[in-house]
């Protein structure tokens, strides 16, 4: 453990010292500070890793600062230095400390201020604790004084460290059933990171500065042409104008250094300039011939300077670089966005410069289905990241008091940003209802919510978008929240980490496996994986036996094999969702997309052995989902289509993949696969090239 922590610290310090991007270096410095605080807290005996309360003097409900790997640093997100809005409020009140500010919001004037925020909705809860005094104000306003007193008693011991008041905003967040990937404020920060493109700027300088200058030189030399040869005639003021042009070149070159064309000795620009600098009488016949060639080539390509064809060609070049650059458009658009609400997304993409549409689309606030259709949700992980916005709004509808519903939604969203702790011995993460201020308002929920319909819609969207991907834990967490009030209740299983698996499953895993295999009785899935329905009472032992490994070895590769067998038996939530929600999906189409994805993915070159293993694992999981889809709906022409698709792949891949395909064909005929495609193995996997 200490080795892992030191490695993380060393990586951050290295990035801070060596990275060329100041923003990345600063972010690495902050991360390094967090790891250093963790080490200091460890040395002082203030941390207990693997516990729900890893920080000695903080209860479980406090939102902790959690680092990579689930390690608590010892800090709390609602603690630490005063935030800008806190400093502003303290200055306004003539106070200095966070404790005093917490005290202000418990005074008559402070509670009145909180009630005003509740009524308007003009606040934001960035950390769940920031909603606590708003709950207290609501309880006090509605006469629930006993609950308010209990909440006050629970929170006062931490009022010197934690902020229990919200961030004031100019506008409220809409409760319109829409979501966004990022806010307007985040979009503006992203736009500010767009830097000028040196090549584009150089091209623009070439067309706007140096080509007009080049054309002047061409025109000047063209004045000396007679009988097809330059330097035959000289207008009276020719030499004077030539000197003026050379002087202007020096001035221009000092101001415009992006383009290297004027200095390239082999380019006609530099050659014409050198001819201007020399006395025509000193030029050799060969040099005059070179000048003649330059003039002739220009005439053949575009015509004489000033001619219609010449002017048309130059205008085309100007049109190509006309208008603001990408970076200039980003700056202007970011300024335009400053007048819009910063903590939500864009109402539409109207008025967005075409070059910035893809970036702005990530801030579009729209129904979830629209974002998926637009291709803005590239993975289940991204889907899980934006779902709390939708679930929070559904939760808000469960309260008859609109102000309380909005507050609950704000706290819910903030709570969902909470990072998971490293936990041992089957302990569960802290639940929303464990927060004292959330528990205080639970009795005022109506219980009437469209959550089950939303869960069905969400599941359908997720499986249609990513049929080959197992449901990630963050997505499962939101599904669990939506299903919590439904009847009959749905049980979910999480993907467990192989490196910390302790050889036991929570009790409900066996029940999920039992229900899943009852649902799949006699199916292709059971035949392929050689499954007999049973009680699965000692699920860990059953999984170890199926994997052919010894339980209790506590090695990641062995644990991974056991965990994969658990996912096979439970179907990793697919059976529960299909049965409990009566999903209506084209499972033949989903299976085909899985097969196509597997064939494509396995043929992408993977250099590092770890990348190869990860690819095989993901393909094995996609293979399992494919077989599930084939087991719960019509198979149609899948096997004929898949066989044809496989035959079109390179022969080397066909040979490598043949054991997997043969095993599926065997299962179709009622025989278990001799060599089922699994993701975890000890030793070299047979699918590795």
> Is-contact 210 261, C-beta < 8 A?
yes
Q: Which residues pair with 226 in a beta bridge?
A: 229
488: cis peptide before it, omega within 30°?
Answer: yes
- Token pair for 557: 């590769």
Output the six-digit token pair for 146: 């006993």
Which conformational region is residue 670 in: left (phi greater than 0), alpha (psi within -120 to 50 degrees), or beta? left
In this structure, the number of other CB atoms found within 10 A of the CB of residue 107 comes to 10
Cα 78–82–84 angle (5° rounding)? 110
What does DSSP assign to residue 399?
B
**CA distance linking residue 348 with residue 45, whole number of Å:** 52
The β-bridge partners of 229 are 226
Centroid of chain to Cα 646: 33
CA dihedral 661, 665, 671, 673 (to 10 degrees): 10
pLDDT given at position 101 = 97
Beta bridge partners of 123: 168
Per-residue pLDDT tens digits for 600-652:
999 998 878 888 999 999 999 999 999 999 999 999 999 999 999 999 999 99
Instruction: Return all residues near 161 (Cβ < 8 A) that are at least 6 apart.
Output: 76, 78, 79, 98
H or E stretch including 124? strand 123-124
DSSP per-residue letters across 136-166: HHHHHHTT-HHHHHHHHHHHGGGTTT---S-
Three-class secondary structure of residue 354 per DSSP:
helix
Cβ-based neighbours of 687, under 8 Å, separated by 6 or more: 602, 616, 619, 656, 657, 660, 677
Contact yes or no for 129/436 (Cβ under 8 A): no
Q: What share of the chain is helix, strand, coil (3-state, %, to 5)?
A: 60, 5, 35
Q: Angle at CA 269, nearest 5°, toward 298 and 203?
A: 95
The Cβ-side half-sphere exposure at 244, using a 13 Å CA radius, reads: 7
pLDDT < 50 stretches in the chain:
none
Max CA-CA distance within the chain?
108
**Cβ(299)–Cβ(234) below 8 Å:** no
Tokens 């000289």 appear where?
234
Contact yes or no for 470/621 (Cβ under 8 A): yes
Neighbours of 230 (CB within 10 A): 22
Q: How far apart are CA 658 and CA 651, in angstroms?
A: 10
- Give alpha helix (H) positions in 397-523: 402-416, 436-439, 451-465, 473-483, 507-519
Distance CA 520, CA 305 (A): 81
**363 backbone dihedrals φ, ψ, rounded to 5°:** -105, 5
User: Radius of gyration of the chain from Cα atoms?
Assistant: 34
> d(Cα 631, Cα 419) in Å, to the nearest integer?
36
Sign of CA dihedral 535, 537, 543, 545: negative
Spell out the residues 6+ positions from residue 75 whose beta carbon is closer than 8 angstroms to its own.
34, 37, 64, 65
At what angle are helices 609-632 and 587-602 packed, to 10 degrees? 160
Residue 62, SS3 per DSSP: coil
**Following DSSP, what letter does each residue of 532-564 receive, concatenated?**
-----TTHHHHHHHHHT--TT---HHHHHHHHH
Number of Cβ within a 10 Å radius of residue 527: 20
What pTM does this model have?
0.81
- Interval 201-220: pLDDT, tens: 899 999 999 999 999 999 99
- Residue with structure tokens 């729209």? 366
Q: Which residue has the tokens 């033949």?
A: 588
Residue 586 burial class via C-beta count within 10 angstroms: exposed 0-12, middle 13-18, buried 19 and up: middle
Assign 3-class secondary structure to 267-302: CHHHHHHHHHHCCHHHCCHHHHHHHHHHHHHHHHHH
Burial category of 677 from C-beta neighbours within 10 Å (exposed 0-12, middle 13-18, buried 19 and up): buried
């Amino acid at each position: 453990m200490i080795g892992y922590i030191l490695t993380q610290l060393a990586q951050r310090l290295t990035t801070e010292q060596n990275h060329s991007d100041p923003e990345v270096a600063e972010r690495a410095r902050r991360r390094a500070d967090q790891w250093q605080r963790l080490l200091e807290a460890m040395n002082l005996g203030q941390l207990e890793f693997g516990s729900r309360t890893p920080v000695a003097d903080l209860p479980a409900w406090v939102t902790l600062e959690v680092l990579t790997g689930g390690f608590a640093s010892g800090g709390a997100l609602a603690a630490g230095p005063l935030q800008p809005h806190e400093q502003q409020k303290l200055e306004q009140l003539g106070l200095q400390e966070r404790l005093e500010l917490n005290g202000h919001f418990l005074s008559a004037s402070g509670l009145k201020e909180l009630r005003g925020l509740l009524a308007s909705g003009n606040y934001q809860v960035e950390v769940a604790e920031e909603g606590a005094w708003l709950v207290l104000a609501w309880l006090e306003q509605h006469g629930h004084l006993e609950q308010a007193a209990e909440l006050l008693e629970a929170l006062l011991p931490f009022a010197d460290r934690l902020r229990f008041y919200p961030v004031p905003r100019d506008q409220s967040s809409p409760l319109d059933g829409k979501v966004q990937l990022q806010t307007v404020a985040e979009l503006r920060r992203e736009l500010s990171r767009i830097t000028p493109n040196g090549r584009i700027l150089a091209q623009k300088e070439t067309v706007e500065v140096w080509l007009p200058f080049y054309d002047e030189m061409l025109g000047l030399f063209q004045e000396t042409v007679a009988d097809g040869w330059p330097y035959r005639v000289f207008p009276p003021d020719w030499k004077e104008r030539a000197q003026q042009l050379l002087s202007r070149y020096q001035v221009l070159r000092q101001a415009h250094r992006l383009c290297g064309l004027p200095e390239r000795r082999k380019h006609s620009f530099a050659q014409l300039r050198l001819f201007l600098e020399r006395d025509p009488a000193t030029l050799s016949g060969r040099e005059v011939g070179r000048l003649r060639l330059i003039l002739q080539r220009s005439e053949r390509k575009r015509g004489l300077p000033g001619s219609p064809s010449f002017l048309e060609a130059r205008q085309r070049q100007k049109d190509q670089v006309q208008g603001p650059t990408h970076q200039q458009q980003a700056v202007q658009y970011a300024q335009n966005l400053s007048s819009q609400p910063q903590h939500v997304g864009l109402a539409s993409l109207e008025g967005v410069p075409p070059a910035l549409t893809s970036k702005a689309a990530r801030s579009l606030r729209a129904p979830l289905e629209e974002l998926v259709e637009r291709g803005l949700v590239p993975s289940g992980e991204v889907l899980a990241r934006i779902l709390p916005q939708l679930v929070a709004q559904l939760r808000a509808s469960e309260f008859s008091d609109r102000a309380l519903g909005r507050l609950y939604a704000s706290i819910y969203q903030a709570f969902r940003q909470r990072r998971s702790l490293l936990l041992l011995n089957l302990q569960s993460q802290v639940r929303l209802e464990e927060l004292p201020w959330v528990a205080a308002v639970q009795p005022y929920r109506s219980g009437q919510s469209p959550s089950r319909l939303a869960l069905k819609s969400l599941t359908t969207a997720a499986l249609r978008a990513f049929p080959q991907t197992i449901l990630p834990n963050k997505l499962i967490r939101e599904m669990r929240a939506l299903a919590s009030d439904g009847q009959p209740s749905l049980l979910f299983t999480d993907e467990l980490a192989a490196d910390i698996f302790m050889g036991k499953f929570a009790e409900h895993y066996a029940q999920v496996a039992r229900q899943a295999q009852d649902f799949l009785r006699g199916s292709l899935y059971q035949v392929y994986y050689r499954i007999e329905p049973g009680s699965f009472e000692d699920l860990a032992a059953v999984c170890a036996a199926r994997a052919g490994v010894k339980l209790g070895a506590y090695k990641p590769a062995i644990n991974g094999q056991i965990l994969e067998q658990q996912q096979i038996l439970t179907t990793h939530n697919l059976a529960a969702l299909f049965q409990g929600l009566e999903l209506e999906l084209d499972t033949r189409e989903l299976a085909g997309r899985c097969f196509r994805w597997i064939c494509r993915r396995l043929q992408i070159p993977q250099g590092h052995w770890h990348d190869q293993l990860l690819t095989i694992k993901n393909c094995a999981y996609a293979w399992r989902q494919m077989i599930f889809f084939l087991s719960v709906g019509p198979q149609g022409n899948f096997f004929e289509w898949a066989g044809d698709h496989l035959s079109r792949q390179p022969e080397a891949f066909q040979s490598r993949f043949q054991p997997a395909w043969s095993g599926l064909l065997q299962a179709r005929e009622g025989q278990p696969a001799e060599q089922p495609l699994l993701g975890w193995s000890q030793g070299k996997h047979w699918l590795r090239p």
